[in-house]
Amino acid sequence: MEIKVEVIGVSPPCPRCKKTEENAAKAAEKLRSEGKNVEVAKLVVTSKETISKYGVVTPPAIAINGVVKIMGKVPDVGVIERLLRASITR
């Protein structure tokens, strides 16, 4: 099963969005090292595609498999990793 992580932020990235993206990449890499298929993408919060898909979100935000899980705060690597693991068991 593939897990799709989307980091939603501003462009160019602010320090909070950049840190969220780094933490998502680290969490994804940890799961990849265990053989999980994790893809990380970056979305711009103001793009029409992002707004039509998720509505108005407060950056930084993280969506996993099309569902916004975190909005308006910078999650640490462990929090993102737990969310990714939870999405695998569903």
Q: Which domains, ranges and CATH numbers included, belong to the chain?
A: 2-89 (3.40.30.10)
In whole angstroms, how far apart are CA 51 and each of 8, 44, 48, 58, 79? 10, 9, 5, 11, 25
pLDDT at 64 over 60: yes
Bridge-based pairing of strands 2-9 and 37-44 is: parallel
Amino acid at 63: A
65 neighbors 53 (Cβ within 8 angstroms): no
| Nearest of 5, 26, 21 to residue 87 by alpha carbon | 5
Predicted local confidence at residue 90, as pLDDT: 57
Tokens of 90: 């569903």
21 neighbors 76 (Cβ within 8 angstroms): no
pLDDT digits (tens, 9 = 90+) for 71-81: 999 999 999 99
